[in-house]
Amino acid sequence: MESKKPPPSALVDNHVVPGDVILDLADMTNQTIKLGAGLRQDYDTIQATSAGRLRLSKPNKYWVESSQKRLPIHVIFFWQYIPSVEDTVLGIVVDTKPDNFLVDIKGPNFAFLPVLSFEGGTRRNIPKFEIGTLIYARVVKANSIMNPELSCMDASGKAAEFGQLKNGYMFDTSTGLSRMLLSSPTCPLLEALGKKLSFEIAVGLNGRVWVNAPSPSNVIVVSTAIIRSESYTQIQQKSMVENLLVKLS
């Protein structure tokens, strides 16, 4: 076991652009670091390959949180979301094939959702999804040459919240914002909202968020708060939510 901790990169929580050197491996030996999205090893250095905010999850996980705009799917260089295994995503059914549902997950290609990948799924009980159905699913296969594959079961074969989402409202945000919403401990925005309002939320790492609440006005309040918090710090988020709730009551 390593006794001393690796010094964190100076750029943590700062904005980085492609080409920025995040870490120099030459002066850190016998240490393991884990690289996430937007980073690449180039000989002895770790460089950023996308623009965004550098994040560090203690002790040694680095990634670049980037926010990308709603962009044409066919522009390959501007993918909004690059699927990776074990991501939870919100997809929209765009087509049904005998073996698969074709699902739009904002990636470079449509994802396949095999009709049998539901809890207790057999040929007999294929779910009927009309086009435009919103699905909460898990990425099980993701590589650069094949379409990604989704599943509506967890690793042990249980449904575990996956599947069709009914009612509620879905909106697009950036991938960075959706990561922030999923971060632990719970982000102050959701915590502050949750104290006053009751709502259900599903966040996909592909930058889609689904919100449901008993009354439409609550859904709108929550979704507006989330969309507005894009560039806010944690303290700003809290005060923004407080202001919003004061206005409502």
| Interface residue list for another protein (CB under 8 A) | 71-75, 92, 94, 104, 110, 130-134, 165-171, 210, 216-217, 219-221, 223-224
Instruction: Kindly tell me which of 139 and 219 has the beta carbon lying closer to another protein.
Output: 219
- Per the rule left: phi > 0, alpha: psi between -120 and 50, beta: everything else, 166 is beta
48, 80 in Cβ contact below 8 A?
Answer: no
CB of 129 to another protein, least distance (A): 9
- Counted residue by residue, the chain has a size of 249
Decide: 86 and 123 in contact? Cβ < 8 Å.
no
Kindly report whether the peptide bond that precedes residue 185 is cis, defined as omega within 30 degrees of 0.
yes
Distances (CA, A) of 104 to 32, 122, 149, 208: 36, 24, 11, 11
CB of 113 to another protein, least distance (A): 15
Residues in a beta bridge with 91: 135
- Report CA Rg, the chain: 20
Phi, psi of 61 (to 5 degrees): -100, 125
Q: Which is nearer to another protein, 6 or 196 (CB)?
A: 196
Token pair recorded at residue 201: 């939320």
Residue 219 or 241: the one with the smaller Cβ distance to another protein is 219
Shortest reach from residue 103's CB to another protein, in Å: 11
Residue with smaller CB distance to another protein, 143 or 224: 224
Query: From the CB of 32, what's the least distance to another protein, in Å?
Result: 41
Residue among 33 and 211 whose Cβ is closer to another protein: 211
Closer Cβ to another protein, 16 or 202, answer by number? 202
**Nearest approach, Cβ of 167 to another protein (angstroms)?**
6
Smallest distance, another protein to C-beta of residue 144, A: 18
Omega before 83 within 30 of 0, i.e. cis: no
